[in-house]
A and B are shown apart, each in its own frame.
Chain A
């Protein structure tokens, strides 16, 4: 188990490093950062001053080396745009994105696993059709559209929840539903497929023949096996949600880390973008690692591989 763990950890670190190196070089293709920083209508002298002040006149690799060295000690530098330490900005915004991501993934799990199980227990029934319908809609509908429709119905017309902002838990209801719903179809379909397969297995028939209660057969014997691929998928989905909540954060004016990353790219705010890319990829890698470990715990066969 320890060897397995260390191997995975090493791979994870390598992935995170590669991502940050590639993104660092890509940012330089997006146009001259000095001009963007100096602002619309800056004079040449302004631009030249900015270039020297920020060290853009140095080779890219040298800049990357310097950045990485500092980043390892937790110093991501100052944001070009806000002139405040990037780490403060990130600390300010990450909690919002985290809260949203965790709420959304919980919502997705609570909705999709029971539905997936039910759909598998009664295939081709009305409930199976309903689950299919839900997942097709979820897959097809763009999240900004879905979000705005919910705003119009529940915030504007019914007035049950606020339109936008992040002042109270009520502000998180709509974004949770929109973001969580986005992850629902994949989890539900995978649960259903896994359960269908497992329920046909011999050991389930044996368990039933032994007279074990149907509920116990379903949840202890069947689900534990069926859920293994779902764990991996859920981790990936949560990763997507943290990095991909840009649109949701923008629509609901949540102003979390996803939106900060998006805005920072168009502002050419390199230190912020770099820090966020590194943090997001670390979280993503960590989630995948956790899923691997969880699966290894659920299924001893994986540990051997």
Chain B
């Protein structure tokens, strides 16, 4: 609260005498601010969203997902085909050269795949690579990626987090060297790195011309680490940085009135949800009764929260996935805000006077409190325990949490297997343990026929919504603020692409 008050004062102070300095436009450089120091610049050795963003600039994947059409197009590969359910053959692009002059060929792909596939090599986000068995060279520009088992979302991962390393450099430098001086084929190369302070990126003049990422326009990017949001605002206003993101809605509104800055808002793939213990993992609670869960669904004013708390591009979500994800069935039972109906359902279930229930959350306390107010409106009294993410996840996986508010970002993977299957296939996060849902999801995750997959996911998502195993709440959004002379387009996968940005 204190900080909010402060920010308000700051923003109003700053508006008094602002003379923006447009330093970047004149020498075609761009200074951007990020809040966190990366543990490593090696794309496989950090889990941070900022790291995912950086990796897109330094490296390329075999394929790329076109942001406009949603289609996969070749990047380091020019074509691909499924040989069978677990073998994917790629024809590689010729004439691609790494930042250090090493020529790109099948050996690089094979070395990278075989390295990341081994768990003992310690890739941080195992989910990104756990499906890979390895790779085989067919000839210099043909390679086969081998899967452990049928995994239809393979291309999505190859278009995203699975980037290709230069085999000779990597053999010498290893993970440590890659983390300090990364070398890739991507649109930008790293020329300087002061841990915790800055990363200097320079446009790679030898970037392959046919890349679907396009040739970058901005010559120099200075990536600064500024942990404090208010300092980022001050730097932005004084021209010290030209681009910031993840700005809270109220701040963004003030900046949009300044005029010298462009404020854009884009949805992210992160959604919030209420989770219920529907299978007695925690023990007997009123939440075992589907009527009680439906009552809660009717009691929460999700539209109101989106309007007054989340704002921007956020939308109410009804299905247990993000709408753009492959297989996300949107035609599911929905529950409109209706406290009267909620009370009636509670009475029918035998709780006319409501009940008390432990309630857990780890972020966005104000959202949790808004929902608690809604619930107390129909007689339910949640008692909130607010924990750090790691502590809450621990409790959840141990079956100690009957009722929770959490969020999931799917790692920007545009396939429901990254969300619905992660929570409802019978794993430690599954509090529904519905045998039918588990069966449908397991099958859908292991076949490659898109139509059949869609049908199975649809069945699962409809049942999840009908039984209210989850109450999906809303999607999150991010505010980007940048110099009005900068041409920049945010994308819903929450990965800023500076290689597509330019000065007007």
Residues of A within 8 A of B (CB): 30-32, 35-36, 39-46, 49, 81-84, 92-93, 142, 144-145, 148-149, 151-152, 155-157, 159, 162-166, 250-253, 255, 259-260, 263, 266, 268
For the complex formed, measure the closest distance between the CB of B446 and the CB atoms of chain A, giving whole angstroms. 17
> Does the CB pair A166–B390 fall under 8 Å?
no
> Does the CB pair A152–B13 fall under 8 Å?
yes
Total A-B contacts with CB atoms under 8 angstroms apart = 121
Choice from A32, A40, A156 contacting B238 with Cβ under 8 Å: A156
> Does the CB pair A164–B125 fall under 8 Å?
no
Q: Given A159-B238, A253-B231, A268-B390 in contact, is the A83-B197 Cβ separation under 8 Å? A: no
Find the residue from B13, B124, B231, B408 having the highest chain A CB count within 10 A: B231
A273 to B163, CA, bound (A): 33
Q: Given A39-B124, A41-B422, A253-B225 in contact, is the A157-B16 Cβ separation under 8 Å? A: yes
> Does the CB pair B126–A42 fall under 8 Å?
yes
List residues of chain B with CB within 8 A of the CB of A156.
14, 18, 234, 237-238
> Does the CB pair A255–B179 fall under 8 Å?
no
Find the residue from A152, A165, A263 having the highest chain B CB count within 10 A: A152
For the complex formed, measure the closest distance between the CB of B349 and the CB atoms of chain A, giving whole angstroms. 34
Residues of B within 8 A of A (CB): 2, 6, 10, 13-14, 16-18, 37, 39-40, 45, 47, 119, 124-127, 130, 175-176, 179, 195-197, 224-228, 230-231, 234-235, 237-238, 240, 387-391, 393-394, 397, 408-409, 411, 422, 427-428
Since A148-B6, A163-B234, A266-B388 are in contact, a sample of 20 more A-B pairs with Cβ atoms closer than 8 Å, ordered by chain A residue number, is: A30-B391, A31-B390, A40-B47, A40-B409, A41-B125, A44-B397, A82-B195, A83-B176, A148-B230, A148-B231, A151-B231, A155-B234, A157-B14, A162-B240, A164-B231, A164-B234, A253-B231, A255-B197, A263-B227, A268-B390
> Does the CB pair B237–A45 fall under 8 Å?
no
Choice from A39, A43, A157, A251 contacting B228 with Cβ under 8 Å: A251
> Does the CB pair A151–B234 fall under 8 Å?
yes
Q: Given A31-B388, A152-B14, A156-B234 in contact, is the A250-B127 Cβ separation under 8 Å? A: no
Q: Given A148-B230, A250-B227, A251-B230 in contact, is the A39-B47 Cβ separation under 8 Å? A: yes
Q: 6 closest pairs, A vs B, by CB?
A: A36-B390, A31-B391, A39-B47, A255-B196, A253-B226, A35-B390
List residues of chain B with CB within 8 A of the CB of A157.
13-14, 16-17
For the complex formed, measure the closest distance between the CB of B77 and the CB atoms of chain A, giving whole angstroms. 27
Pick 10 A–B contacts, CB within 8 A, sort by A.
A30-B391, A35-B391, A36-B390, A39-B47, A40-B409, A82-B39, A144-B6, A148-B230, A156-B14, A255-B197
Q: Looking across the interface, which residue of chain B has its beta carbon closest to that of A37?
A: B390
A145 to B13, CA, bound (A): 13
List residues of chain B with CB within 8 A of the CB of A43.
126-127, 130, 427
A36 to B124, CA, bound (A): 12
List residues of chain A with CB within 8 A of the CB of B18.
156
Q: Looking across the interface, which residue of chain A has its beta carbon closest to that of B19?
A: A159
For the complex formed, measure the closest distance between the CB of B360 and the CB atoms of chain A, giving whole angstroms. 13
For the complex formed, measure the closest distance between the CB of B192 and the CB atoms of chain A, giving whole angstroms. 12
For the complex formed, measure the closest distance between the CB of B19 and the CB atoms of chain A, giving whole angstroms. 8
List residues of chain B with CB within 8 A of the CB of A93.
196
> Does the CB pair A163–B238 fall under 8 Å?
yes
List residues of chain A with CB within 8 A of the CB of B390.
31-32, 35-36, 268
List residues of chain B with CB within 8 A of the CB of A31.
387-388, 390-391, 394
> Does the CB pair B231–A163 fall under 8 Å?
yes
List residues of chain A with CB within 8 A of the CB of B387.
31
> Does the CB pair A32–B6 fall under 8 Å?
no
List residues of chain B with CB within 8 A of the CB of A159.
238
> Does the CB pair B127–A41 fall under 8 Å?
yes
List residues of chain B with CB within 8 A of the CB of A163.
231, 234-235, 238, 240
Q: Looking across the interface, which residue of chain A has its beta carbon closest to that of B418?
A: A41
